[in-house]
């Protein structure tokens, strides 16, 4: 079970409280986690990754296990602690304020 922590605005859109848990088939990567997230919560499509390019939106960052994974290749395996559910995958707004 993969644990994902969303920023407040995306939790509101997805109508969830707290962490989201997902089943991810096969290798656990940014792409497979986000694919599973968007399949379960289609209202989040386009809010984390651009619709067409599937690139991470500029003001969104990814963290896990105290590491910044924002610039890792989307098909790189995520840390084992994320894959086992010991640690969450964090989707974070890149800058504060506004």
Partner 1 sequence: MSGVRVLVGTRKGAFVLTADGKRQRWEVSGPHFGGWEIYHLKGSPADPNRLYASECSSWFGQIIQRSDDGGKTWHQPGTPPGEPTTTPDGTSKGESNKFVFDTSSETGKPLTTHQWYDGTAHPWEFKRVWHLEPSLTDPDTVYAGVEDAALFRSTDGGRTWQELAGLRGHGSGSRWQPGAGGMCLHTILLDPSHPGRIFIAISAAGVFRSDDAGKTWRPINRGLKSQYIPDPNAEIGHCVHRIAMHRSRPGVLFMQKHWDVTRSDDAGESWHEVSGNLPTDFGFPIEVHAHEPDTIYVVPIKSDSEHYPPEGKLRVYRSRTGGNEWQALTKGLPQRDCYVNVLRDAMAVDALEPCGVYFGTTGGQVYGSANAGDTWAPIVRDLPAVLSVEVQTLP
Residues in contact with partner 1 by CB under 8 A are 7-10, 13-15, 38-48, 50-52, 57, 59-60, 93-94, 98
Please state the closest distance from residue 5 (CB atom) to partner 1, in A.
Answer: 15
Please state the closest distance from residue 13 (CB atom) to partner 1, in A.
Answer: 7
* Residues 6 or more apart in contact with residue 63 via CB below 8 angstroms: 69, 70, 90, 92
Choice between 70 and 84, CB closer to partner 1: 70
Instruction: Report the alpha-carbon distance of residue 24 to residue 38 in Å, rounded.
Output: 12
Please state the closest distance from residue 70 (CB atom) to partner 1, in A.
Answer: 13
């Amino acid at each position: 079970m993969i644990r994902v922590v969303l920023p407040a605005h995306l939790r509101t859109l997805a109508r969830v409280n707290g962490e989201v848990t997902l089943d991810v088939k096969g290798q656990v990567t940014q792409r497979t986690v986000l694919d599973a997230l968007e399949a379960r919560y289609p209202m989040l499509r386009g809010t984390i990754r651009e619709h067409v390019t599937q690139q991470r939106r500029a003001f969104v960052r990814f963290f896990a296990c105290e590491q910044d994974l924002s610039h890792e290749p989307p098909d790189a395996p995520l840390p084992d602690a994320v894959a086992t559910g010991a640690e969450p995958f964090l989707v974070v707004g890149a800058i504060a304020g506004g």
